[in-house]
Amino acid sequence: MKLSKPLFLLRMLGVLALGSAAAMAGAESEPLFVNLLSGTASHRTDMALTFSENVLKRGHPVTIFLNDEGVKVAAKSNAEAAKGREALEKLMKGGATVIACPYCMKHYGVKEADLVEGVKVGSPELTQGELFKPNTRTLTW
pLDDT digits (tens, 9 = 90+) for 92-102: 999 999 999 99
The answer to whether the predicted template modeling score (pTM) of the entire model surpasses 0.85 is no
133 φ, ψ to 5°?
Answer: -65, 145
Low-confidence ranges of the chain (pLDDT < 50): 15, 18-25
Strand partners, 139: 34
pLDDT in tens, 35-57: 999 877 688 999 999 999 999 99
Predicted local confidence at residue 24, as pLDDT: 47
Strand partners, 63: 33, 97
CATH superfamily of 31-140: DsrEFH-like (3.40.1260.10)
- Please tell me whether residue 119 adopts helix, strand or coil conformation: coil
Q: In the chain, what are the domain boundaries?
A: 1-28, 31-140
